Amino acid sequence: MEESVQGMIPASNEVIQRSLKKSKVTTQGECCPICKELNVDDECYMMPCDHVFHLQCIVSWLQINHVCPVCRYPLPILTT
């Protein structure tokens, strides 16, 4: 796993909390691009680029890489 995350910049927890908006799946056929599952009425979270994910799926991803796994939309990163 260490090799696969080299060069990736994680999003901070603060940025993740500010960037994700709670939503609900309203149409059949919509799916979380990470786990490939979402059902109508499932709670999901939307990135600023409008892609939707399960909370635990997208948070796990963003803790490794600060970009949307679908379109590579970058979340802000904190610089020191």
Residue 54 lies in a domain: yes
Residue 80 lies in a domain: no
Cβ neighbour number for residue 74 with a 10 Å cutoff: 14
Residue 35 lies in a domain: yes
Closest C-alpha to 42, from 20, 17, 23 = 23
Closest C-alpha to 57, from 32, 22, 25 = 32
Q: Give the total number of structural domains in the chain.
A: 1
Q: What is the pTM of this model?
A: 0.81
Please tell me the predicted confidence (pLDDT) of residue 79. Answer: 66
- 8-49 per-position pLDDT tens digit: 899 999 999 999 999 887 777 778 899 998 788 888 999 999
Residue 72 lies in a domain: no
Give CA–CA dist 42/56, Å, rounded. Answer: 13
Cβ neighbour number for residue 64 with a 10 Å cutoff: 14
Determine the average pLDDT of the residues in 64-68: 95
Query: Which residues sit opposite 46 in a β-bridge?
Result: 21, 52
Residue 34 lies in a domain: yes
Answer with the residue of higher pLDDT: 59 or 43: 59
Residue 73 lies in a domain: no
